Amino acid sequence: MSNFQKKLRRRQNKFKQKSTRGNSRVKRAELTVRLSKNRREERLMKRRNMGRVLTNSNTNIRLQNQGVPSIKKLPQIIKGINSRDLNLVRSSVQLIRKLISVVEDPPTEKFESLWIISNLCSGTHEECKYIVDLDAIPLFFNHLSSKDANIVEQAVWALGNVVGDCKEFRDLVLNQPNCFKTIIGLFSIKHINMDIIQNIIWILSTMCSYKPRLEYSKTLELIPIFSRLINHRNNGIVVDCLYGLQYISDGDSKNIKEILQQGCVPTLIQLLSNRSPKIQLPAIKTIGNLLSGPNIYTDHLLEEGLLTNLKDLINSPRTDIVKCVCWALSNITAGNQSQITQVIQSGYLPHVARLMSSQNKKIIRKEACWIMSNIVYGGTALQISKVVKEGSIELFLQYLKISQSSRNVIICLEALNKILTISQIEAENLNCENYCVKIVEENDGVQIISKFINHKNVKISNFSSSILENYLNDDQKEEKENLEQYFVSKEFEKEHLPDFAEFDDQVPIYEF
């Protein structure tokens, strides 16, 4: 199971309606009592005379006169569902389906039946598939138009459990006639229950989570909703809206542009200062996606004060949040030199250098390494010198010792090569020693880089060879040192200075 699937499953577990002994049972009992009181007289007037009697057998449950069981028989149906007899289970589920299919039934029966179906859909994939195969999705949609808010809520729960199970079921829901129009239309219900609103947002957000993402025409309907409701007072709704924006903004410039045009960037940046990590995380992930767009989009976020609000999160105790902050910063430093300057002037380099040190987790070090390498790769000579002063050469060499990823090795070698090239040009202009070469040598850089000369990745091999030959060639250095010593040695005098005795009999060329 991928990391994305694990994260999605954790979100599903928080949402999916399950039969528990805690709040779920209390709520169910309260709702049942309230419904019973509200419709007591109606049920007495509509006492059924169809002679429907539930009969048990070892293999199935059948109804006399093909009728539908009353609410009094639900405990027996539930007992049948929990049976080990598959035929009995199937018959019990079919009876529940009949209960929610009969329009004339009092709302209590529908409510109880939908509750059971919703719980079944919250189970394993096979259990949810069993309900879907009974063509239950159209029935859920039919009950979204009910005048009873409790029935609508249970239908929404059931739909959410189906959508959250897998992409295949999500697509079946999307294929229903006027799917988005029906679901979004629930917001127009008078005195709508807060739970219904949150469940609707969860459904819409989860629809966006699967890959490939929703097509652009569908996201256009959802972006305004998510952008507006991130201002909601309910944190659960805000979180689901943020996840919806995160999924929509993932890799699509058209969607990013549409989100920015909604004017929600100031709110997104403000949410970074929220005390709840559950809000901070999807907010920074969404912003990271927005920063992956063209530089003009990045400029817009920087103008709104992103770097000020982001600085507080870089010291967060949560690894996942710090990782996302580094990723956002790497997207900024991958831009133009003006954007790199803003990151440096905002005081991020000491924090990035700290995160690259060996004291931090590997995933944090990797993301911080990307920030440093982006500055080196796209920065000016002055910007690179600032990175060097923060110890980037030592940090790149340390990271090369532990990194097993070819991609990470390449970015480190590429950054070192660029630093040594720029410092060599500076040394030649000032007629002085290349001080960056000295730093590399003092930190065992020759030995570390030499290990990659015969690497199977050609790019790694070429980079390491180029660095060693151009800047760290020990043979050339030794030859130069020997040559300097040779010129001042006695052997040089013996081989090259003339024997002045042979000129004693000759007239000097110059007279003084």
Q: Quick one: three-class SS letters along 207-269? A: HHHCCCCCCHHHHHHHHHHHHHHCCCCCHHHHHHHHHHHHHHCCCCHHHHHHHHHCCCHHHHH
Residues 6+ apart with CB under 8 A from 362: 402
Number of alpha carbons in the 13 Å side-chain half-sphere of residue 187? 13
Q: How far is CA 296 from the centre of its chain?
A: 23
Residues 6+ apart with CB under 8 A from 185: none
The rounded distance, in Å, linking the Cα atoms of 380 and 59 is 79
pLDDT level of residue 133 (50, 70, 90 thresholds): very high
Q: Which tokens hold the place of 28?
A: 């169910």
Cβ-count burial of 229 within 10 angstroms (0-12 exposed, 13-18 middle, 19+ buried)? buried
The rounded distance, in Å, linking the Cα atoms of 288 and 265 is 12
The rounded distance, in Å, linking the Cα atoms of 100 and 27 is 20
pLDDT level of residue 159 (50, 70, 90 thresholds): very high
Specify the pTM: 0.75
pLDDT level of residue 113 (50, 70, 90 thresholds): confident
Average pLDDT on 399-428 reads 92
Given a contact cutoff of 8 angstroms between Cβ atoms, the answer to whether 162 and 121 are in contact is yes
Residues 6+ apart with CB under 8 A from 286: 242, 245, 246, 249, 268
The helix or strand, by DSSP H or E, that contains position 62, with its residue range, turns out to be strand 61-63
The helix or strand, by DSSP H or E, that contains position 61, with its residue range, turns out to be strand 61-63
pLDDT level of residue 312 (50, 70, 90 thresholds): confident
Q: Looking at the predicted structure, is the pLDDT value of residue 332 above 50?
A: yes
- All structural domains of the chain, each given as residue ranges with its CATH number in brackets, are 348-497 (1.25.10.10)
Residue 103's pLDDT is 46
Given a contact cutoff of 8 angstroms between Cβ atoms, the answer to whether 46 and 72 are in contact is no
Cβ-count burial of 101 within 10 angstroms (0-12 exposed, 13-18 middle, 19+ buried)? middle
Kindly state the DSSP code that residue 149 receives in the 8-state scheme.
H
Percent above pLDDT 70 for the chain: 74
pLDDT level of residue 54 (50, 70, 90 thresholds): very low
Instruction: Provide the Cα torsion 307, 312, 318, 322; round to 10°.
Output: 20
Please state which of the ranges 60-74, 301-315, 362-376, 394-408 shows the lowest mean pLDDT.
60-74
pLDDT level of residue 297 (50, 70, 90 thresholds): very high
Q: Which tokens hold the place of 130?
A: 């069993």
Q: Looking at the predicted structure, is the pLDDT value of residue 411 above 70?
A: yes
pLDDT level of residue 445 (50, 70, 90 thresholds): very high
Q: Looking at the predicted structure, is the pLDDT value of residue 100 above 60?
A: no
Q: Which tokens hold the place of 41?
A: 């007289």
Cβ-count burial of 462 within 10 angstroms (0-12 exposed, 13-18 middle, 19+ buried)? middle
Kindly state the DSSP code that residue 188 receives in the 8-state scheme.
G
Please state which of the ranges 67-76, 178-187, 188-197, 392-401 shows the lowest mean pLDDT.
67-76
pLDDT digits (tens, 9 = 90+) for 221-275: 999 999 999 999 999 999 999 999 999 999 778 999 999 999 999 999 999 999 9
DSSP for 373-403, please give it: HHHHHHS-HHHHHHHHHTTHHHHHHHHHHH-
The rounded distance, in Å, linking the Cα atoms of 339 and 330 is 11
Cβ-count burial of 386 within 10 angstroms (0-12 exposed, 13-18 middle, 19+ buried)? middle
pLDDT digits (tens, 9 = 90+) for 487-496: 445 454 444 4
DSSP for 411-455, please give it: HHHHHHHHHHHHHHHHHHHHTS--HHHHHHHHTTHHHHHHTTTT-
Q: Which tokens hold the place of 258?
A: 């549409």
